[in-house]
Structure 1
């Protein structure tokens, strides 16, 4: 199994970052504007992109500390993988330790997704710090995969 890993420092409180990764309205402001569902523990979040989407079951949601999703619908490579968000404070930053865990193998789509996660994490950082993110469909386009 292989994982996608990123670390991002956000100038903002852990509570603000937590809201950005659990509130459907906040997720829609930095990841994809077509976001629906329940970001609380036990809920399901639905993210729609062109040409497809992802459904994430919220396995754990510890306010301002940790969130864990399981991909229950989406591309075959994503099904059963986990998206983990761990938050801690360093000086004036909330540090987001992000991982998309459990890929069966490293395939070109994983490389694409790693880059896209990085652009979306920067969008989340921008949202928390400035109030404006760059969600899909207005995100950075990097290839023919969306």
Structure 2
């Protein structure tokens, strides 16, 4: 019979990258009594609650924006007969995009109902994950920090939707791959300055488009994770007889080194180029292999 490992799931508005970073800040949501390092594979840290529970974890797997795995290498639970019930178990955080939100699935692999500690430990984990971790992730950033651009056009929501999916028509003619099917992926590059890989995760005709940035490289920044696992969202709606397009790059925040350049670039490509493509049928994308003169390309 399959073991019934304890598991619970939460959904947050923040990006996979932000969820990943919050999970690794273990002192921020589990306990201030954590001792040791919690940031890279091979790091070890201890948790202690009074004289009732002690455990030592080793970071076994870290996939930015996707997965965190701890291996319990020492444990002593003093309120049960078998004090080693946590030994050699794994604590797993699986992170994934769900619509335009982020889902974190927590599993304590090896924590099963047959164990004496199960009720107390599952109740504790439920509180730490569904309340403490969820609140910690949500407090890591306010939505108001995300880059946004909004404009109105006279065309229909469907016409706006179709233009958004014609990415070569308003962002760059150097796009490689399909840009109008759910689950498809495409690549963008600008000279040797910027390249990224994007997956289309939501397509709702005349209403919504969501992209997930799978990989990214900037030549001009130190932190190469700045765009990775962020989401690019287009919300389309009728407003007073016109169509409103609301663009959000969720996770592109002022703290990023790339922010000023990306702010200027998205402002042009969204408010000028995309708007023109919707309104007139002609946008202003980066032309194929052209040497861009304005310092706007993202």
TM-score, structure 1 normalization? 0.80
Gaps of 5+ in 2: 77-83, 141-298
1:97 to 79, 85, 105: 105
1:128 equivalent in alignment to 2:137: yes
Kindly tell me the number of residue pairs found equivalent between the two proteins.
Answer: 128
The correspondence of residues 1-146 of structure 1 with structure 2, limited to 5 A, is 1-22=3-24, 26-39=25-38, 40-51=40-51, 52-75=53-76, 76-103=84-111, 106-121=114-129, 122-131=131-140
Larger radius of gyration: 2
**Matched residues in 1 for 2:111 and 2:27: separation?**
25
Shift of 1:93: 2.1
TM-score, structure 2 normalization? 0.41
**Matched residues in 2 for 1:17 and 1:4: separation?**
20
**Matched residues in 2 for 1:105 and 1:115: separation?**
12
Shift of 1:10: 1.7
Worse-matched range after superposition: 104-113 or 87-96: 104-113
Secondary structure (helix, strand or coil) at the match of 1:55 reads: strand
**Matched residues in 2 for 1:90 and 1:2: separation?**
24
Shift of 1:104: 6.7
Gaps of 5+ in 1: 132-146
